[in-house]
Amino acid sequence: MPARLPRGIWRHAAAALPASALVVGLAMTSLPADAATVADTVAPSSVAVSAPRADAPVPTTEPTRDLREGARPLASRFEVRPRPPVRKPAPVSRATLVLRRAASLRGRPYRYGAAGPRYFDCSGFTSYVFRTAVGRSLPHSSAAQYRLSHKIAKSAIRPGDLVFFVSYGHVYHVGIYAGHGLIWHAPHTGDHVRLARISTSSWVAGRVL
């Protein structure tokens, strides 16, 4: 049992202590020993929360030392820089597309009257290349392709133009000029599509691009 306090002690305590402390003391005298121990640990903290210390730091909106000294804010030190513009590849010329398509058919065998894609004769090869590379339709005949083309001088020829072999004013063969005196063509029976040097001096040039 808790010890009995001398008579009259509460009157003197009430005059010397604040009301909140007196309430805590009365509660402790009415509790068993273990509950009074719990009150010793809980009551002071609750009083501290309800009555903050006079010397507690007061929040301030004053700028930090770095900002007072003129330093940049932390967020500005990690600015996101814009990405450099993506360079688009240069457009590929139609002549380059034609030559690439012609080269992709290297080794296809010659067959008279064939226009691809497994076999070719000379005009069948040129018509297939221009149609599939750049969508340019050409007739399946070397003479008809010559009549359709724009006639140019040999000195003005450039890659992608057509080279026509001529004998006694008659066009009998056609190939695609690749530059440096070379043409892509399907030569004759027993041969195949290949890059070769112009084998005759009797030739004319035409442009269809």
Contact 39, 24 (CB under 8 A): yes
Residue in 140, 185, 188, 192 annotated catalytic: 185
Rounded Cα–Cα distance for residues 73 and 105 (Å) = 64
Let me know if 140 is a catalytic residue.
Answer: no
Verify whether residue 180 is a known catalytic residue: no
Adjacent-strand bridge partners of 195: 184
Distance in angstroms (rounded) separating the CA atoms of residues 194 and 105: 8
Please say whether the beta carbons of 126 and 207 come within 8 A.
no
| Token couple for 126 | 């040129």
d(CA 29, CA 36): 8
The Cα 61–Cα 65 span in angstroms is 12
The active-site residue out of 173, 180, 188, 192 is: 173
Is 185 an active-site residue?
A: yes
Catalytic residue among 12, 122, 180, 188: 122
Catalytic residue ranges: 122, 173, 185
